[in-house]
Amino acid sequence: MDLRVKRTKKNIKDAFLELRKKKSIERISVKELSETAMINKATFYLHYKDIYDLSESLQDELIEKILSKIKGAEISDDPSIAQILSEEIQSEKENIKILFSDFGDNRFINHLEDSIKEYVFETSSRFRDTPEDNILLSFLIQGSYHAHIRNNKQSEETLRQTTSDIFYKLLN
């Protein structure tokens, strides 16, 4: 990808995050975003259909980043997948809150769960073929996510260690 295109997309994304800290997605116009990113509206439309397309693109990038770290982890033998998931949720917690604070329907975590399960099903027949293990996996992914997002008073290490321990105990 051309360096100018990368820089333009980064400026758009940074401007979007800055605006999302202050207001809901419905209240952000392409005009305002373009001014904040110091581009013209036509440039925005070269890369995205609308504000929602940009938001979905950021969600997809975040999920792909988390998945790329998880791929290769052995889910059934040790808590490494839980540690990775915990670390990534913790490191992206602020962006997650900024990007998805308007969506009470848990769109992000549901998409993340689907993506992780798709990967796990490809690599482990245990989870694909056993309904109880499939449900357990949903419980662990959703629970880990919500534990990190909702327990702001706990240290990162406590959250990481606790969710990893739970993963390990329940999967073995």
- Please state, for a pLDDT cut of 70, what percent of the chain lies above it: 91
Contacts 24+ apart (CB under 8 A), 81-88: 81/167, 82/140, 82/144, 82/163, 82/164, 82/166, 82/167, 82/168, 83/160, 83/164, 85/116, 85/141, 85/144, 85/145, 85/163, 86/144, 86/148, 86/159, 86/160, 86/163, 86/164, 87/160
Domain boundaries, position 36 = 1-48
CB half-sphere exposure, 134, CA atoms < 13 A: 9
**Stretch among 31-35, 124-128, 139-143, 154-158 having the lowest mean pLDDT:** 124-128
Residue 27: pLDDT band with limits 50, 70, 90: very high
- Average pLDDT for 39-65: 94
12 and 78 housed in the same domain? no
DSSP 49: S
Q: Are residues 16 and 61 both part of a single domain?
A: no
- Is residue 104 very low, low, confident or very high in pLDDT (cuts 50, 70, 90)? low
**pLDDT of 15 above 90:** yes
What is the model's pLDDT at position 20? Answer: 93
Q: Could you tell me the pTM of the whole model?
A: 0.81
Whether residues 155 and 71 share a domain: the answer is yes
2 close to 20: Cβ distance less than 8 angstroms: no
On whether both 111 and 140 belong to a single domain, the answer is: yes
Same domain for 106 and 22: no
Q: Does pLDDT of 90 surpass 90?
A: no
| 70 and 151 part of one domain | yes
- Are residues 86 and 11 both part of a single domain? no
Residue 57 is predicted with a pLDDT of 94
Total number of domains constituting the chain: 2
